[in-house]
Amino acid sequence: MVRLSDILSKLSKEHNFDLDDIIKFESVYLNSERVSFADLSMERFLSLGDLVKVFPKPKRFGDIKLTAHSVLYEDSSCIAIDKPQGLPSLPVASNSKENCKHLLEQITNSSLWPVHRLDELTQGVLVFAKSPQIARRFQIDQKKKRIEKRYLAKIEQAVATGLYEHHITKGEGRMLISEVPTENSKPCRLEILDCKPDKDAFIAKILLETGRTHQIRAQLAHLRSPLCSDPIYNDKNSQQRFYLCAYQLNWLSDDFEHSFIATHIF
């Protein structure tokens, strides 16, 4: 029998990576499942045919902090925070610790369930449920269109107000937008509520009707008005900061109504 710790120690020496880091950030997978810190700290043995995958250099987000002051609202069912730009909502493949969910669980000393997510570069309102039942209720209310998500985006060119309907699919390193359905595409809709000049750019107020990955960024780029300094969807070498803020989330359920508003908007 071979111990997992012995394999990792050998790999760290052969490939010159920090063993403590991959243990701390749980950057090891066994048969496609993340190995927890507790398992890595124990004498875990491997069986013939086991597949070990290691991320030797965990992606770091250590300079971005989440504190109790980030909490916008909390009750017995859910908690809403003002997510900072640059911090992932949930664990990434190489780092399970530096993300909103884990850090907020440490702050509140409780387990949380994600109900939606924001891109790493997006700031603003992010909600977690305090039980699986509340998480399911959020998803049901979202299908019933009882969840309203509003964004502010700093964009290159003015965009006319109105509803925009497209189809989105996963491409090589980015999401692709088309006017008509394509293989494996999904419908995506957003409404431009307002668009006003702001110095050398424009600020668009957006109502998001579907929540696809990178949807706002990809749709705006398709409309030839990408977000300023978007590293994926904007080819222009702009010196401006990337601005996309989920500034308001309204949740209307059967027995309560919440309206969460971000405090740090650009």
CA 260 from centre of chain: 18
pLDDT for position 87: 96
**pLDDT < 50 regions, the chain:** none
Could you report the per-residue pLDDT of 227-242, keeping only the tens digit for each? 998 999 998 866 667 8
Sequence ranges of the chain with CATH classification 3.30.2350.10: 68-145, 149-246
Q: According to the CATH classification, is domain 149-246 in 3.80.30.20?
A: no
Q: Which CATH class for the 68-145 domain? A: alpha beta
Its pTM stands at 0.92
Largest interatomic CA distance in the chain: 66
